[in-house]
Copies of this chain bind each other. A is one copy, B any other.
Amino acid sequence: MGYQVTIKNIAEKLGVSISTVSRALSDHPDISSKTKKAVKELADVLGYKPNQVALNLKYQSTKTLGLVIPEIMHNYFSTVISGVEDIAYDNDYSVVICQSNESYKREVVNIQTLLSNRVDGILVSLSKETKDISHIKKIINNKIPIVLFDRIIDDLNVDVVTNDDYKGAYTAVNHLIVKGCKRIAIYTASEHLSIGKNRLSGYKDALCDNNITVDESLIFYCDTYLDSMKITASILKRVDRPDGFFAVNDMTAIGIMMTAKALEIKIPEEIKIIGFENSISAGITSPGLTSVDQFGYEVGKEATKLLFKRIKNKQNEFLPEKRCIKTKLVLRNST
Interface size on A, residues (CB 8 A): 50
Q: Given that A3-B143, A120-B1 are contacting pairs, would A138 and B47 also be in contact in the complex, using a CB cutoff of 8 Å?
A: yes
Contact between chains at B73 and A99 (CB < 8 Å):
no
Q: Please report which residues of chain A, range 46-103, place their CB below 8 angstroms from some CB of chain B when the two chains form the complex.
A: 47, 49-54, 56-57, 60-62, 72-73, 75, 78-79, 81-82, 85, 94, 96-97, 99
Q: Check B144 against A2 for contact (C-beta < 8 Å).
A: yes
Q: Tell me, in angstroms, the Cα distance from A252 to B141 when the chains sit together.
A: 48
Shortest C-beta distance, A268 to chain B (Å), equals 15
Q: 3 closest Cβ contacts across the A-B interface?
A: A286-B286, A52-B116, A2-B144
Max count, chain B CB within 10 A of own CB: residue among A56, A99, A284: A284
Shortest C-beta distance, A70 to chain B (Å), equals 13
Known: A97-B97, A284-B284. A52 touches B117 (CB 8 A): yes
Task: State whether B52 touches A118 (Cβ < 8 A).
Answer: yes
| Bound Cα distance from A285 to B53, whole angstroms | 48
Inter-chain contact B51/A118, CB cutoff 8 Å? yes
CB of A115 closer than 8 Å to a CB of B:
yes
Q: Copy number in this complex?
A: 2
Contacts of A120 in B (CB 8 A): 1
Interface residues of A (CB under 8 A from B): 1-4, 47, 49-54, 56-57, 60-62, 72-73, 75, 78-79, 81-82, 85, 94, 96-97, 99, 112-113, 115-118, 120, 138, 141-144, 225, 251, 254, 258, 261, 280-281, 284-286
Task: Please indicate the chain B residues that have their CB under 8 angstroms from the CB of A79 in the complex.
Answer: 73
A116 nearest in chain B by CB position: B52
Closest to A250 in B: B284
Residues of B contacting A4 in the complex (Cβ-Cβ under 8 angstroms): 115, 118, 142
User: Using Cβ atoms and an 8 Å threshold, which residues of chain B touch A54?
Assistant: 57
Given contacts A57-B54, A280-B281, contact A47 B97 (CB under 8 A): no
B142 pairs with A113, CB closer than 8 A:
no
Are B72 and A81 neighbours in the complex by a CB distance under 8 Å?
yes
A53-B56, A94-B96 known; 17 other A-B pairs, CB under 8 Å? A1-B60, A2-B144, A3-B143, A4-B142, A47-B138, A47-B141, A50-B116, A51-B57, A51-B116, A52-B118, A73-B78, A94-B113, A96-B96, A96-B97, A97-B97, A285-B286, A286-B286
Closest to A115 in B: B49
Q: Which among B47, B53, B75, B112 is the interface contact of A73 at CB below 8 angstroms?
A: B75
Task: Identify the interface centre among A61, A81, A82, A116: most chain B CB within 10 Å of its CB.
Answer: A116
